[in-house]
Amino acid sequence: MAGADVRKERLDRGIKVRTSGIYAISGGKEIGYLILPRLVLIAGLLLLPLVVTNPYWQRVISIVGIYALLALSFDFLTHYVGLVSLGGAFFVGVGGYLAALLNTKLGLSPLFSIPLATVGGGLFCTLAILPCLPLRGVYFSIVTLMYPLLAMRVIEALNIFGGTEGIMGVASFPNRWVEQYSLIVVLLLALFGLRRLVNTDLGLVFRAVKDNDQAVKASGINITHYKTLAVFISASLACLGGAYLVHIYMWAGISTLALDFSIIPIAATVIGGGGTLVGPVLGALILVPISELLRAFGTLRIVFYALILMAFIVFRSEGIMVYAQRKYHQFEKWVQV
């Protein structure tokens, strides 16, 4: 087709009015055009538990949901506040242990232990991270990386919370429908809630702290307050993931503090497209099943996993969602020259 007398023309769709962030909508077609991708995501996630029949893969759905929450928490804090936290595993562990303790010691059902672990764990993690908030860039990352390592060794050395054995006998969900649908609904609420938040005036202050914290200070705003609030939001989401994890596996142990929970969400964010919020969810949806499929390769699993990650980063370094969003808003056609 690409002969001498035709060329490819690329246009932005008319709907994208040239004032970034503001869309002028002028009819049903355009509304449909904007709603379609959201609908596909919502319907797709809600159908997932129905179409997957294999019990093993049904469990994977829940794990995907948990990693999606963690990736969302990482993406928000990194790309909207500028704090690159490697302490995701710490958040998961705190949420997990808290939920397990609330359930086994106080006898609270998951209906109460999960929300309490979310908020309480968020508060605890925020207080723990508070001394690091003046740090910027790689210094913040390195210090937050120490938290899960530290917590793991403290639990081991002091033999608290069951030590290396962990806390057993944590209540599970009544059935898989409650487990999966509550998780999917919570995930969707978190995703759309965060997307809304980052475009409110409060969200703009978060983004300004990332862009340029000096100018925010010069505007009479105490940036420590806003960093604290952002860490609380992010930590709460990850604690929520941790609480789910513990109730699904019916066990809380030091492996909930494993660095996988810090690293895999970052990989999911990179693959999905950082700063899009929906990208990390998509990334988790791709990465976690791939990781399960690769179990067939035994020890070589990590090798293939790393190769896939590298290929993604080399060939689509912007991330799937960034690429997809750009393509969705453009259309190409061949025109006669």
Instruction: State in angstroms the smallest separation of the CB of 204 from other proteins.
Output: 5
54 contacts other proteins (rule: CB under 8 A): no
Which residue in the set 202, 302, 303, 335 belongs to the binding site for other proteins (CB under 8 A)? 202
Compute the distance between CA of residue 91 and CA of residue 76 in angstroms, rounded to an integer: 15
Compute the distance between CA of residue 117 and CA of residue 96 in angstroms, rounded to an integer: 8
Which residue in the set 3, 21, 27, 28 belongs to the binding site for other proteins (CB under 8 A)? 21
> Which of positions 211-270 make contact with other proteins (CB under 8 A)?
211-212, 214-223
Instruction: State in angstroms the smallest separation of the CB of 279 from other proteins.
Output: 17
By beta-carbon proximity to other proteins, the closer residue of 217 and 327 is 217
- In the numeric block, the tokens 């290396």 are attached to 164
204 contacts other proteins (rule: CB under 8 A): yes
Total residues contacting other proteins by CB under 8 A comes to: 23
By beta-carbon proximity to other proteins, the closer residue of 28 and 220 is 220
Query: Per-residue DSSP letters for 223-260?
Result: HHHHHHHHHHHHHHHHHHHHHHHHHHHTEE-GGGG-TH
Question: What are the backbone angles phi and psi of residue 98, rounded to the nearest 5°?
Answer: -65, -45
By beta-carbon proximity to other proteins, the closer residue of 205 and 240 is 205
Compute the distance between CA of residue 320 and CA of residue 324 in angstroms, rounded to an integer: 6
By beta-carbon proximity to other proteins, the closer residue of 19 and 54 is 19
By beta-carbon proximity to other proteins, the closer residue of 76 and 97 is 76
Instruction: State in angstroms the smallest separation of the CB of 217 from other proteins.
Output: 4
Q: Would you put residue 201 in left (φ > 0), alpha (ψ -120 to 50) or beta?
A: alpha
By beta-carbon proximity to other proteins, the closer residue of 51 and 218 is 218
Which residue in the set 27, 51, 201, 315 belongs to the binding site for other proteins (CB under 8 A)? 201
Can you list the pairs that 190-198 forms with residues at least 24 positions away whose Cβ atoms lie under 8 Å? 190/69, 190/72, 190/237, 190/240, 191/72, 191/277, 191/278, 191/281, 194/72, 194/76, 194/233, 194/277, 195/277, 195/278, 197/233, 198/76, 198/80, 198/277
Compute the distance between CA of residue 330 and CA of residue 246 in angstroms, rounded to an integer: 44
**Which SS3 state, helix, strand or coil, does residue 190 take?**
helix
Reported as half-sphere exposure (CB side, CA atoms, 13 A), residue 248 has a value of: 23
Compute the distance between CA of residue 254 and CA of residue 305 in angstroms, rounded to an integer: 24
By beta-carbon proximity to other proteins, the closer residue of 205 and 233 is 205
The site map against other proteins for 154-193 (x = CB under 8 A) is ----------------------------------------
Which residue in the set 208, 266, 277, 282 belongs to the binding site for other proteins (CB under 8 A)? 208
Instruction: State in angstroms the smallest separation of the CB of 21 from other proteins.
Output: 6
205 contacts other proteins (rule: CB under 8 A): yes
Q: For binding to other proteins (CB under 8 A), which residues are involved? A: 18-22, 201-202, 204-205, 207-208, 211-212, 214-223
